[in-house]
Amino acid sequence: MEYDKVWKKYSQAELKKLEKINAEYIDFLSNGKTERECVDEIVNMAEAEGYVELEKLIASGKKLKIGDKVYSVWMNKSVVMFKIGKKPFSEGINILGAHIDSPRMDVKQNPLYEKDDFAILDTHYYGGIKKYQYVALPLAIHGVVVKTDGTTVEINVGEDPDDPVFFVSDLLIHLAQEQMEKKASKVVEGEDLDIIVGNKPIVFGNDVKAKDKKDEKEPVKKAILQILKDQYGFEEKDFLSAELEVVPAGRAREAGFDRSMILSYGQDDRVCAYTSLRAMLDLPTCDRTVCTILVDKEEIGSVGATGMRSKFFENAVAEVMNLCGEYKSELDLKRALARSCMLSSDVSAAVDPNYESAFEKKNASFLGGGVVFNKFTGSRGKSGSNDANAEYIAAIRKVYDDAKISYQFAELGRVDLGGGGTIAYILALYGMNVIDCGVAVLNMHSPWEATSKADVYETYKGYIAFCKGMDL
């Protein structure tokens, strides 16, 4: 089945709105390179649209009514939002769910050392990456350092034009004969992904004796520690309670002479997070309550207190139901979730013109082809996947057709080649209908991923149509 390029159908008015949505999306990507930064952006946008923090409502004892807007943040890394609909929770809710974590490198807890007159930070990569893609690349450091007195130091170095950047060194081609004979998975090892952060030794004053200067060990490391103390207010021991993420430096950019694409770090899955968020904020009051979940840890299996496997989502739904006067027992919660419908808003692999053989093109997604549905994910024999049922897919097709949303269906590459997973199977455990639905991405999991502006806009519209029209 062939799909038309969605660019062909837009009026000038729609193209203007498309560009506006994408300009805002570029800002979101550039300002939210970590989960914490995304949460800050999301909360600011939500509160500007009248969303109120759930915990404040619980403390006040205020009851919720139709049209009320609520959000809850969990550990500064995950967010769940609700807009109360006209129908009771017992008839189910419509859910959009995306993740806001992305592959990267994390600074270790004892990271700083000196070697060959370089100060270096030891890292541990997070999520699935091709490690060789992260060498010889300008890098930025984002995150927080929390000191034992409770003070939190926010770190964001490498994004401002006046900031320094950091890098992982690579062996020059003239000396790389042995390296080039290795498999791609071994060309750069995980333990080699350490970032260079300095090269200048500490400068001693005239009052320091020559002997003391000679005996001073690790002068470059000490110089870096002095900078960290003077400019950022923390010491080496504070790395123990720090969360510092190393990401590609630089803003998201328009790509192509025609400016039809966006090139940026972190579009898996912040492209679906942003379109879900923007759709949620732009929704009128719907028949069913609408919920958007934006979570952490998907790239490493949705584990931990801030991942989708945590109970924070389930607990938040119960609290909101209680404030609506609809939670009498756990059975009410179970019925509400089982009767809900969800789009697991996650990206799909776009056909790469340079690597067509990795795809079965009849069942693949294309940039500019519209929002992508994956009936199933997993790998090979659908292992680890959610597999949406035909009745649910037919119902969504009708909603999208009625709203004139362009869409395509795809698999994640050839059957025996690989695959991937999302949060879909976790929500499906409640018995609700779930299908993966998101944006096609080129260069997925690389430092710079590419999407089509048209797909971003079409996905945003599709999420609105789903929230307004889905009612099984």
DSSP letters for 408-455: EE--SSSTTT-EE--SHHHHHTTT-EEEEEE-EEBSTTSSSEEEEHHH
Residue 323 near residue 56, CB atoms below 8 Å: no
Distance CA 457, CA 454 (A): 5
Q: Does residue 164 carry a pLDDT above 60? A: yes
Beta strands in 63-222 (DSSP E): 69-74, 78-83, 94-99, 104-115, 118-126, 139-146, 152-157, 195-198
In this prediction, residue 204 carries a pLDDT of: 64
In this prediction, residue 386 carries a pLDDT of: 86
Q: Helices (H) and strands (E) in the chain — how many of each?
A: 13, 22
Summarize pLDDT for 410-463 with one digit per residue, the tens. 987 777 666 777 889 999 999 999 999 999 999 999 999 999 999 999 999 999
Nearest CA among 392, 265, 316 for reference residue 81: 316
465 CA to centre of own chain: 23
Q: Does residue 269 carry a pLDDT above 60? A: yes
Q: Does residue 120 carry a pLDDT above 70? A: yes
Buried b / exposed e over 317-351, threshold 16 CB at 10 Å, is bbbbbbbbebbeeeebbebbbebbbbbbbbbbbbb
Q: Does residue 142 carry a pLDDT above 60? A: yes
In this prediction, residue 471 carries a pLDDT of: 87
Cα dihedral across residues 239, 243, 247, 252: positive or negative: negative
Walk me through the domains of the chain, giving residue ranges and CATH numbers. 6-102+265-469 (3.40.630.10), 104-248 (2.30.250.10)
Residue 427 near residue 342, CB atoms below 8 Å: yes
Greatest C-alpha distance within the chain:
82
In this prediction, residue 380 carries a pLDDT of: 72
Q: Does residue 350 carry a pLDDT above 90? A: yes
| Residue 394's pLDDT band (cuts 50, 70, 90) | very high
In this prediction, residue 54 carries a pLDDT of: 97
Q: Which residues contact 289 (CB under 8 A, 6 or more apart)?
A: 82, 83, 84, 85, 87, 89, 93, 94, 320
Q: Does residue 111 carry a pLDDT above 90? A: yes
Residue 354 near residue 450, CB atoms below 8 Å: no
Hey, is 231 helix, strand or coil? helix
In this prediction, residue 210 carries a pLDDT of: 52
160 upstream amide cis, omega within 30 of 0: no
Helix (H) or strand (E) holding 316: helix 312-323
In this prediction, residue 237 carries a pLDDT of: 97
Show the DSSP H helices in 142-209 as ranges: 177-180, 184-187
The more confident residue out of 374 and 210 is 374
In this prediction, residue 415 carries a pLDDT of: 72
Mean pLDDT to the nearest integer, 99-108: 97
Summarize pLDDT for 206-215 with one digit per residue, the tens. 555 555 555 5
Sequence length of the chain is 472
Buried b / exposed e over 426-461, threshold 16 CB at 10 Å, is bbbebebbbbbbbbbbbbbbbbbbbbbbbbbbbbbb
| Residue 472's pLDDT band (cuts 50, 70, 90) | confident
Summarize pLDDT for 196-206 with one digit per residue, the tens. 999 999 976 65
Structure token pair of residue 206: 């005239």
The more confident residue out of 209 and 407 is 407
In this prediction, residue 207 carries a pLDDT of: 56
The tally of CA atoms less than 13 A away on the side-chain side of residue 366 is 17
| Residue 274's pLDDT band (cuts 50, 70, 90) | very high
217: burial class by Cβ within 10 Å (0-12, 13-18, 19+)?
exposed
Nearest CA among 82, 465, 51, 107 for reference residue 294: 82
In this prediction, residue 4 carries a pLDDT of: 67
70: amino acid identity, one letter: V
Structure token pair of residue 232: 């950022």
In this prediction, residue 199 carries a pLDDT of: 96
Distance CA 149, CA 241 (A): 12
Distance CA 293, CA 96 (A): 6
In this prediction, residue 420 carries a pLDDT of: 75
| Residue 361's pLDDT band (cuts 50, 70, 90) | confident
